[in-house]
Structure 1
Amino acid sequence: MKIVQLSKNDRSGGAARAAYRLHQGLQLVGQHSVMVVESRTSDDPSVVTFEKPMDGLELVRRGLRQVRIAQDANRYRRSRPKGYEEFSDDRSAYASAVLDQIPACDVINLHWIPGFVDYRTFFKRMTRSTPIVWTLHDLNPLTGGCHYSLGCDRYLAHCGTCPQLGSDKPKDLSHEIWERKRRVFSRAPPSTLHFVAPSRWLGGEMRRSPILGRFGVDVIPYGLDVEEFAPRHRGSVRDLLGIPRDARVLLFVAEEVGNERKGFTCLVKALAQCAGKIPNLMLLSVGRNRPAVPIDIPWRHLGSVDNDRFLSMVYSAADLFAICSLQDNLPNTVLEAIACGIPVVGHAVGGIPDMIRNGVNGLTVPVADVEALGAAIADVLRDTARCAEMGANARRIAVEEYSLELQGRRYSELYATLVEPGGPYRDGHLQQE
């Protein structure tokens, strides 16, 4: 079976890495997977970069589309509060150009596509010819632009008066985007599009969505290479990183450490409460932009780490991993930590409880409960035998439940239901319902 993975990037950002890992997993189980991206980070020959049409007329049209999209966003340049992540339009300046470069295939698997795939032109044309599976990596396909709602539930109605735009108008840009998405998907027969949610939380949110709730959804967790992410010799790794062998190391990893949604501030407050209870406590962090916050314990910040083998060494240097997200899907960092045999303490939000089994491979606490987070960190780090047992359980769970091969087989089974005799796309064409 030939599958095209359509993603904005192949390695830059958590969603892109998750998409690329699926691509690898499918290849491992014998599928012909090709990845088409707007921009490529890897040198993988099976990843194809979209070529922007450069003829004069198309350049003019693309420029005009870019201006229109930018003008709509710029209306909120001054009102938009700081601290929020990207806000994405459903439109793309490429319009239908992406469609013309998708190779012939049995299934198209969409991933994180804002700014790359234009909803209206793509779904109007492609749902009639090729089965489409869409792996959700956040809430954006369900909303009027945000990727995480952070307590706002307007996307369950019609968006508008958007707090992430700083808007007090019911029919603002978020409402316009939400309505365009609703119109696009209201015209698509349910059999033309199938969704995959990596976490039970995101699957539940999709089922509640007025935009996408009538389409089918399966929960298939992310996978990762459990040989690449595997326990390394802790003492040797600590020597390499200049970390004392007798330290009790707590690790925090995020693409952007200062991203408010990732909850580093909660971790700092928790550490202030528990630091005196844990001898030789040290904080180790990975990600862009070390925050300028006071921490009264030794703190080593490594910056961004792009090499998976070196990243597995960083995980292996830790005794415990902290995931403090205020809202999240199925964070890659948790999978990476447990694959390296590191127990996890974190907030019980989104898909995090799918991976952390309380008392087995870590502990979860209520979101933003700083006292509970600090107590959980202290409980695990002060009990070395319990910490080691949780770490062994973490590795076992990762190998049994989150390997690339298992993810590849699960997706292959889903794809087969769409193209097999009796499926909605038998004989290569959508069968009328």
Structure 2
Amino acid sequence: MRPPKVVHLSTYDVAGGAARAAYRLHDGLRRAGVDSSMFVREARTSDGSVIRFEPTTTFCKRAERRIRREQIERKLRPAIPPDNDKVEPFRTDRSEYGTDILSKLPPYDILNLHWIADFVDYTSFFGAFSKNTRIVWTLHDMNAFTGGCHYDLGCGRYLGECGDCPQLAAAGPNDLSHEIWARKKSLFDQLSDGQIHFATPSTWLAQEVQRSPILGRFPVSVIPYGLDLTEFSPRDVGSAREVFGIPPKAKVILFVADGLPLFRKGFEVLVRALEHIRSWLPDLHLVTVGHNSPDLGHHIPHSYLGHINSDRLLSNIYSAADLLVIPSLQDNLPNTVLESMACGTPAVGFEVGGIPDMIHHCQTGLLVPPGEAGALGAAMLELLQNPERRLELGANCRQYALNHFSLEAQADRYCHLYTDILGERAIG
């Protein structure tokens, strides 16, 4: 039996954590001999197996896209609050592209969706598939089953019908979040249980899917992300610090996030935690990686290294650190923790979301209660003052990554899932 032809549908190929995870899966499948390609709205790689969506350019199609775009913006503009670090990105289920994506999709046996916001129009897209179409949807956050947020920050309204959204400026019982939630519910109610199989990287996100009134009846599998463990591996600490200008004798804490600062990523809590411990560690040094240089508000030595795409450079940064801190208030399976573990650098973080799937307390790092800056600071201090224990946890991290987070293991799990799904279709 020939391997299945798989098309990964994603808004981006490598821009952002979800896209990078999707591309890594695609790469792992190709290495395993699977006929895999990506179909994306925006491509930043030169990989020939990544196909960029080209919208139809006829006058009618361009006019149709403009009308749809203006309709979407009229709904979003009054609802979205001004720039606010404490508000999560909010995205509608609608897109200007309508059915145009369907006409451009490459042939496939399995269509594997990923992060599709601002690309796929739910009603046009899902409403067009026959009952024989088989879709795997790898979820990277909560957006598929909420009224627009990617993380609900604990509000729980998606368990009802959304509405009165704390992330919207124009909120009420029938606000935009309720409207989007109701559209998704109506749409997915029309699909059979076997048409979509959800895959989540973390146990936490699988449980949220199962609780969802929109998606709870569909099957879901937990398949962790995978990494190239030759790219992400321990490097020489001294050389790595020299390359990035990090003091050789410093106690180095690393914080990595695509969007800096982002309230959900917990940077404000980290700043308070550092205040608790800086008097105990005169040689403390913070390294941050991300799109924007964060404001610490005090005089802890700090190196901001910018946004970095290179896996090899990232592996050197992880290796240069004594520990990674992951103070997220809600998260799925952050790539940063996987990458740090693969490089033999233990992590300290809050016991939220999928983080406990990676940080096993006192084995691959330390977990503390969510949002508690004092506990976070104490855990960082404990490891920074105990180099022997830190080395032991680092060795455990590397071994755990080798056992659980390789590209090969992830590709094998997905191949089994694809085969099972196609077998069910043949029987049906």
Tell me which interval the TM-score lies in, with the shorter structure as reference length.
over 0.9
Per-residue deviation at 1:76? 1.7
Q: Does 1:407 align with 2:380?
A: no
Question: Contact conserved, 1:80 with 1:164, CA < 8 A, in 2?
Answer: no
Question: What CA distance in whole angstroms lies between the structure 1 residues aligned with 2:81 and 2:47?
Answer: 41
| Conservation of the 8 A alpha-carbon contact between 2:164 and 2:171 | yes
Specify the SS of the correspondent of 1:269: helix
- Give the match for residue 426 of structure 1: 426
State the 1:293 CA deviation.
Answer: 2.6
Q: Please tell me whether residue 188 in structure 1 is matched to residue 185 in structure 2.
A: no
Equivalence for 1:326 = 329
**1:194-273 equivalent positions in 2, closer than 5 A:** 194-273=197-276
Does 2:66 match 1:63?
yes
The runs of 5 or more residues in structure 1 that have no matched partner are: none
3-state SS in 1 of match to 2:23? helix
Residue identity matched to 2:307: S
Q: With the length of structure 2 as denominator, give the TM-score of the two structures.
A: 0.97
Equivalent pair of 1:272/1:296 in contact (CA under 8 Å):
no
Q: Which amino acid aligns with 2:301?
A: P
Partner of 1:30: 33
Q: Read off the aligned partner of 1:101 and give its amino acid letter.
A: K
Which of 237-246 and 174-183 deviates more? 237-246
Assess if the C-alpha contact under 8 Å between 2:78 and 2:170 holds in 1: no
Aligned 1:32-431 pairs, distance under 5 A = 32-77=35-80, 83-420=86-423, 423=424, 425-426=425-426, 431=428
Task: Please give the alpha-carbon distance, in whole angstroms, between the structure 1 residues aligned to 2:60 and 2:87.
Answer: 36
Name the Cα RMSD after superposition: 1.3
Deviation at 1:398, TM superposition (A): 0.7
The residue aligned with 1:21 is 24
Any idea what SS the aligned residue of 2:278 has?
Answer: helix
Q: CA deviation at 1:369?
A: 0.5
CA distance in 2, matches of 1:71, 1:128: 34
What is the aligned length? 425
1:138-188 residue CA offsets vs partner (Å, 9 max, x unmatched): 000010000000121110000011110133420111111000000110000
CA shift at 1:74, angstroms? 1.2
For residues 129 and 41 of structure 1, the distance between their equivalents in structure 2, rounded to whole angstroms, comes to 33
CA distance change for structure 1 residues 76 and 413 in 2, over 3 Å: closer, same or farther?
same
- Tell me, in whole angstroms, the C-alpha distance in 1 between the residues paired with 2:227 and 2:372: 30
Asked if 2 retains the 8 angstrom alpha-carbon contact of 1:246 and 1:280, the reply is: yes
Give the whole-Å Cα distance in 2 for the aligned partners of 1:143 and 1:319. Answer: 38
**How far off its partner does 1:102 sit?**
1.1
Paired with 1:328 and 1:31, the residues of 2 have a C-alpha distance of 30
How far off is 1:85 after superposition?
Answer: 2.7
Percent identical pairs in the alignment equals 49
The amino acid of 2:419's aligned partner reads A
The alignment partner of 2:221 has SS state of strand
| TM-score (norm: length of structure 1) | 0.96
Task: State the secondary structure of the residue aligned to 1:329.
Answer: coil
State the Cα deviation string for residues 336-371 of structure 1 (Å, max 9, x = none).
100010000001100000000100110010111011
C-alpha separation between the residues in 1 aligned to 2:81 and 2:189? Answer: 34
Go from structure 1 to structure 2 and tell me whether the alpha carbon gap of 1:7 and 1:382 turns closer, same or farther (over 3 Å shift).
Answer: same
Cα offsets for 1:383-416 (capped at 9, x unmatched): 0000001001001111110000100000000000
Could you tell me which amino acid in structure 1 is paired with residue 387 of structure 2?
T
- Please state how far the C-alpha of 1:124 moved relative to its aligned partner: 1.6
Structure 2 unmatched runs, 5+:
none
Query: 1:130 deviation in Å?
Result: 2.3
